[in-house]
Structure 1
Amino acid sequence: MNFGEYSYRLLRNVIKDKVKYFKEIEDPLKKSHLPYSLEEYVAMMILISGLVFLMFSIVMSILFYSLIGMLGIAIALLVSVVVAGIAFFVLYLWPKQNASAIKKNIENSLYYVAIYMAAMASIGLPPYRIFETIAKFKDFKEIAKICQRIVDDIHILNLETVEAIEVEAAKIPSDEFRELLVGMRSTITTGGDLGKYITEKANAALENYKNRIKSFTDSLSVYLEIYITVVIVGTIFALVMSSIMGIFGMGGAWVTQLQTFLIFVGLPVLTAAFVVMIKAASPTGG
């Protein structure tokens, strides 16, 4: 029994009328291949958030009570609610983010995978052998996993190749790869030229990848301008203004503290945030 199943058994009666409010994450949940049903995942979100609230409320109440008395308990409860809310929100976004990361990985590898597939199809290799071969290329990561599931569906569940393709295509977060598989299924069914079809899709995948790189390059200049204006110039301006205030005797000791915070905390944190943002936007990052 995994944690999702345990959470569902524990909170079945609590969530039965609330699952309908979380239908938005059902599709990303399937496409991210997390081992939970929607009901199990919603129960897990609630249970984890509750445990986070309980843990933080106990620890923070003891800490704050020892510092400022009864007011500390109220503050601790408020902080615990906020932290539990953040935990719930992160869990809510997790399937979407996971599916997005899988999609990016698939689309980064798709051109190379399609070239391999086209070459194998052109020499007359059966489709299930093509998937079996691609599944062995672990460098293709998510696509290799998908191909392995297709192979397993054929060998273990005794599905026909076109049936296995249809089953797995429905769970893929990438529209490009889903279209490739659906087209392969149609080509196999109608007896068309599979090698020619995959070659055409490979060329289309390459063009899409080039367009994503160009779009990112254009966006990167905007990110750099924002970084220089907001972070670098903003920090320098704040340091200059605080120094002027210190010269005229305004602010006292907090001016030095502010400057120290900006240099050793504010600037590194904002820089790290921009690095994360650029990495997430990159077609090859995330």
Structure 2
Amino acid sequence: MAEIAFRIFGKYYAKRRHKYESLRRDLLAARIFVPVEKWLSSALFTSIVSSPISAIAYLSIKLILSVSGSLLETFRNLPDYFQEWQYRITHLQDYLGNLSPSVISQTISMLVSGLKVELTILDLLIVVTLMTAVPLSVYYLYRLYPKFKAWERGRKIDGKLPYAIAYISPMASVGVTPYEIFKRLSKLEDIYGEVSVEVKRLVRDVELMGYDFLNALRNLAATTPSKNLSTFLTGAVITSLTGGEMRDYFINKAGEYFRELRKKYEDFISSLAVITEIYLVALVAAPLFLIIVYTTMLMMGGASPIILFLIVYCMIPIGSLLFMLLIDTITPEGAR
């Protein structure tokens, strides 16, 4: 599908490639290795195709619901031998023996007559809305996905970066060359995750593309989605160009990042304590109090059981889910 879309819309977006520079950077940071014109061609083609599909899906659902209701009504009007099992078994032979075109036609007409699907003005408005909203949503989801993916990768890199720098600094202190350090780091993806994935690009640039080590560092600093990693690599380049020792830079940075990490964990623990107190009040004490009150009122005939249903099956589960999402959002990546 991507190739078909590119053949149709590729030239259009190729002429306007300069207008989508930010999207190109997002694709590169997300490590989605697709040309920007091909990505946009797929987005436009998919959004166009999704328009009739959304209308067909809505009409199909309405047809299924209408047919289900109509069939139930139709079968209520069929002869008794279609309703009662015992009667059907007893008279099945007589019925089959008396089959004729008129009987079959009458039965089929009874079934078909109940299959009526009526489209109202509201249905037409819903179809028009779907055919407009769904393609726009699909297109903008294509545009936003690389940015979200790059943000997600940047978060993972930031979580593992202090530990990766802690791995780098001891080797730097014993005199291992910077390139050799990064090459070893690139092989430890199972430990350092996205940091190792990023460093693999540096190794690729040096060994396959022919860049020198400093230019490869510059390229990686310019394309990584992590600002912390970019700052770290830029500092390494500046240190080397000004005649400083990368060994001392790596050691100092390791201490600096671990102090920041300690502060981040302290803030996280403080936030977690506040969230825990709010959770106990909002989703433990308050629901328990409401359940006791409404149960008493229900026994006295002064309340509706629907309130208890909403508390137990809506308020507590949905509230707990929201708290879980909140905690997952604020949890440092390295603590997962």
With normalisation by structure 1, the TM-score equals 0.78
User: Aligned residue for 1:195?
Assistant: 247
Secondary structure, aligned partner of 1:170 = helix
Check 1:153–1:50 CA distance in 2 against 1; reply closer, same or farther (3 A cut).
same
Shift of 1:170: 0.5
User: Aligned residue for 2:33?
Assistant: 35
User: Aligned residue for 2:327?
Assistant: 278
Shift of 1:144: 0.7
TM alignment of 1:50-65, pairs within 5 A = 50-65=48-63
Amino acid corresponding to residue 39 of structure 2 in structure 1: Y
CA distance in 1: counterparts of 2:313 and 2:14, whole angstroms: 49
CA distance in 2: counterparts of 1:20 and 1:238, whole angstroms: 60
CA distance in 1: counterparts of 2:17 and 2:285, whole angstroms: 48
User: Aligned residue for 1:119?
Assistant: 170
Per-residue CA deviations over 1:72-124 (Å, capped at 9, x if unaligned) read 45445545655555545544443233222222222222222112222222232
Matched, 1:185 2:237: yes
CA distance in 2: counterparts of 1:247 and 1:83, whole angstroms: 51
**Native 8 Å contact 1:102 1:173 kept in 2:** yes
Shift of 1:275: 0.9
Aligned residues: 280
Amino acid corresponding to residue 213 of structure 1 in structure 2: Y
Amino acid corresponding to residue 260 of structure 2 in structure 1: N
CA distance in 2: counterparts of 1:88 and 1:126, whole angstroms: 47
CA distance in 2: counterparts of 1:208 and 1:36, whole angstroms: 36
User: Aligned residue for 2:257?
Assistant: 205
CA distance in 2: counterparts of 1:74 and 1:13, whole angstroms: 35
TM alignment of 1:169-248, pairs within 5 A = 169-228=221-280, 230-232=282-284, 244=297, 248=301
Amino acid corresponding to residue 27 of structure 2 in structure 1: L
Amino acid corresponding to residue 128 of structure 1 in structure 2: Y
Matched, 1:264 2:306: no
Per-residue CA deviations over 1:148-181 (Å, capped at 9, x if unaligned) read 1111111111110011111111011222211211
Check 1:84–1:240 CA distance in 2 against 1; reply closer, same or farther (3 A cut).
farther
User: Aligned residue for 2:187?
Assistant: 136
**Native 8 Å contact 2:6 2:42 kept in 1:** yes
Q: Percent identity?
A: 20
Check 1:147–1:241 CA distance in 2 against 1; reply closer, same or farther (3 A cut).
same
**Native 8 Å contact 2:173 2:251 kept in 1:** no
Secondary structure, aligned partner of 1:70 = coil
CA distance in 2: counterparts of 1:249 and 1:57, whole angstroms: 47
Check 1:280–1:95 CA distance in 2 against 1; reply closer, same or farther (3 A cut).
farther
Per-residue CA deviations over 1:164-205 (Å, capped at 9, x if unaligned) read 111111011222211211122223334422111111111111
Amino acid corresponding to residue 110 of structure 1 in structure 2: L
Check 1:43–1:245 CA distance in 2 against 1; reply closer, same or farther (3 A cut).
farther
Query: What 5-or-longer segments of structure 2 have no aligned partner?
Result: 67-116
User: Aligned residue for 2:216?
Assistant: 164
**Native 8 Å contact 1:122 1:194 kept in 2:** no
Question: CA RMSD, aligned part only?
Answer: 3.6
Check 1:159–1:16 CA distance in 2 against 1; reply closer, same or farther (3 A cut).
closer
Shift of 1:232: 4.8
Query: What 5-or-longer segments of structure 1 have no aligned partner?
Result: none
CA distance in 2: counterparts of 1:263 and 1:15, whole angstroms: 53
Amino acid corresponding to residue 47 of structure 1 in structure 2: F
Per-residue CA deviations over 1:14-59 (Å, capped at 9, x if unaligned) read 7689988866555433322222344433343343344444333212
Amino acid corresponding to residue 111 of structure 1 in structure 2: P
CA distance in 2: counterparts of 1:7 and 1:220, whole angstroms: 48
Secondary structure, aligned partner of 1:157 = coil
Amino acid corresponding to residue 52 of structure 2 in structure 1: L
Comparing 182-191 with 102-111, greater Cα deviation is found at 182-191
Secondary structure, aligned partner of 1:198 = helix
CA distance in 2: counterparts of 1:267 and 1:81, whole angstroms: 37
Amino acid corresponding to residue 217 of structure 2 in structure 1: I
Amino acid corresponding to residue 28 of structure 1 in structure 2: D
Shift of 1:262: 4.7
CA distance in 2: counterparts of 1:268 and 1:77, whole angstroms: 35
TM alignment of 1:84-123, pairs within 5 A = 87-88=138-139, 90-123=141-174
Amino acid corresponding to residue 157 of structure 2 in structure 1: I
User: Aligned residue for 2:94?
Assistant: none
**Native 8 Å contact 1:57 1:80 kept in 2:** yes
Check 1:6–1:223 CA distance in 2 against 1; reply closer, same or farther (3 A cut).
farther
